[in-house]
Amino acid sequence: MTTLNINQINLVGRLGKDPEIKWFDSGKVLAKLTLAVKRPTNTDKTPNWFDLELWGKTAEIASEYTNKGSLIAIEGELKFDEWVDKDTNKQRSKPVVKVNRLELLASSNNMDSQSDTTDNEDDF
């Protein structure tokens, strides 16, 4: 019997802040974003927040065409970043969405802007 593993997440929301961009000596680029997604109920106005990680051309497009408030759609996979807390010396982790596909739905500067891009880099 074959085991089927699925790790896919699709989200639509607005950026909580401008992208954080990091260029590596190798020439690769990483963009980190935070995405606010409305909850399905009208009673709770607090959004769900997701940390996003974009690589390569997708990261470059995000850095050039998005900013705080931009409406985007993403397709990606869930991963966990792990580290040792410097203060407590305990192992910590947090979920991060590694974005494979980015669609620019609208930005706070240009509500008519639309684009679609796919790119992914595994290592830096």
SS3 content of the chain, % helix, strand, coil (to 5): 10, 50, 40
Distance separating alpha carbons of residues 71 and 36, to the nearest angstrom: 10
Q: Are 52 and 72 in contact (CB under 8 A)?
A: no
CA separation for the pair 113, 117 (Å, rounded): 13
pLDDT single digits (tens) 7-63: 999 999 999 999 999 999 999 999 999 999 998 876 778 899 999 999 999 999 999
pTM for this predicted structure: 0.78
